[in-house]
Amino acid sequence: MSAQEAREPLVYINGELYPKSEAKVSVFDHGLLYGDGVFEGIRVYNGIIFKLREHIDRLYRSAKVLRLNIPMDPEKMVEEVVRTVRANGFRDAYIRLVVTRGVGDLGLDPRKCGRPNVIIIVEHLEPILGSGMREKGITVIFSSTRRDPVHATSHEVKSLNYLNSILAKIEAIEAGADDAIMLDSRGFVAEATGANVFIVKNGTLITPPVTTGILPGITRAVVIEIAGKLGIPVQERDITPVEFMTADEAFVTGTGAELVPIGFVGKVPIGDGRPGPVFRRILEEFNRYKTDPRNGVPAF
C-alpha cells in the first residue's frame, strides 16, 4: 500500500480539508433534516476529472430551482474540486460534490438557514452495480413506485431527496434483482434508480425523454454523442414496458454505474440475455472517450 492510500482520504468542507473521520456537519443541517440540497457524482479517469464543467453546470441549475445560493461562482467550484482531488492524490476516483441548505432550526423554512455547506468527498469506487456485470448483464424489475412527476419533485433536479429511487431499489433487492426500472406517472419507461436507460431495436438506440421526469444524465449525453459518431441512429421518445421487454438490447448509463447491459427483466431475457453488439461497440468507444484529456479537466 502506498503512503497515499495508507492515510485517510481528505474531505473538503467550506474551504477546509479534513481527514475523513473528522469530516462532519451539524445535525441541524437541512440537508439531513429535509433532504434539502443538491449534489453531483463525478469520476476521475487517469487524472482527468471527466466532464467536470458539465457536472458543475448541472449542480448550479439544480440549485437555481431550489433557490439555493451556492456561496461561490462555478469557476471557483471547478478549482475547489480540482484542489480536493489533487490533495487526495487519486488518479482514478469518484467525487461526491454536495451543497446542503445549511444549518437551520427544526422547521423547514429555508430562510432560517445560514450559509449552505459545500462538501467534496473523493474516494475510490468500483462500478456501483459491480464490475463483473458489464460482461454478465444485470437483472431488473419494473418497480411499482413511479418516478416522481415533472410537476413534483422531478429528478430533473439532482437533489438530496432520493427516497423515490430508494423505495424502488428496496423493491428490487427484495425481489432478488439488481436494480429497478421506474415508470413515469403515465406508465412509460423513465429510468433506473440511479442511472438512465437505453434500448436497442432494429439497430436504433432509443432512450426516454427528460419529460418522463428523469435526470438528464451526463453519461446519457455522452452515449448519444458516441452513437452519433458511430453512425447509430438515436431516438429520444417514450418507451412502453412491452417495448422494453421485447427490445433486442437494453443497458443503463451513469457516472456510478458506467455502462451496464440489462440481461433480464425478472425472468424474461432481453434479446438472448447477454450483452449485445450495439452495447459492445458503444462501450468500447466509451472506454476510449472517458480517458481522452479533451473530455475533462486535468487534476494534476
Q: Decide: 85 and 10 in contact? Cβ < 8 Å.
A: no
Q: Beta partners for 16? A: 13
Q: Which residue has the cell 482527468?
A: 48
Nearer to ligand PMP (CB atom), residue 10 or residue 66: 66
| Smallest distance, ligand PMP to C-beta of residue 131, A | 17
Nearest to 215 by CA among 192, 246, 241, 238: 192
- Helix H or strand E encompassing 82: helix 74-88
Length of the chain equals 300
Nearer to ligand PMP (CB atom), residue 104 or residue 208: 208
235: left (phi over 0), alpha (psi -120 to 50) or beta: beta
| Smallest distance, ligand PMP to C-beta of residue 2, A | 29
First to last CA, the chain: 21
| Smallest distance, ligand PMP to C-beta of residue 109, A | 27
DSSP for residue 193: S
Nearer to ligand PMP (CB atom), residue 17 or residue 224: 224
Nearer to ligand PMP (CB atom), residue 18 or residue 286: 286
Interface ranges with ligand PMP (CB under 6 A): 41, 155, 165, 191, 194-196, 214-215, 217-220, 253-256
Cα–Cα dist 21/4, whole Å: 16
Cα–Cα dist 137/224, whole Å: 21
| Smallest distance, ligand PMP to C-beta of residue 155, A | 5
Cα–Cα dist 288/284, whole Å: 7
Question: How far is C-alpha 243 from the chain's CA centre?
Answer: 25
Examine the residue annotation and report whether 20 is marked as an active-site residue of this protein: no
Which residue out of 24, 64, 136, 158 is catalytically annotated? 158
Q: Decide: 293 and 46 in contact? Cβ < 8 Å.
A: no
| Smallest distance, ligand PMP to C-beta of residue 214, A | 6
Nearer to ligand PMP (CB atom), residue 12 or residue 39: 39
Catalytic residue IDs: 158
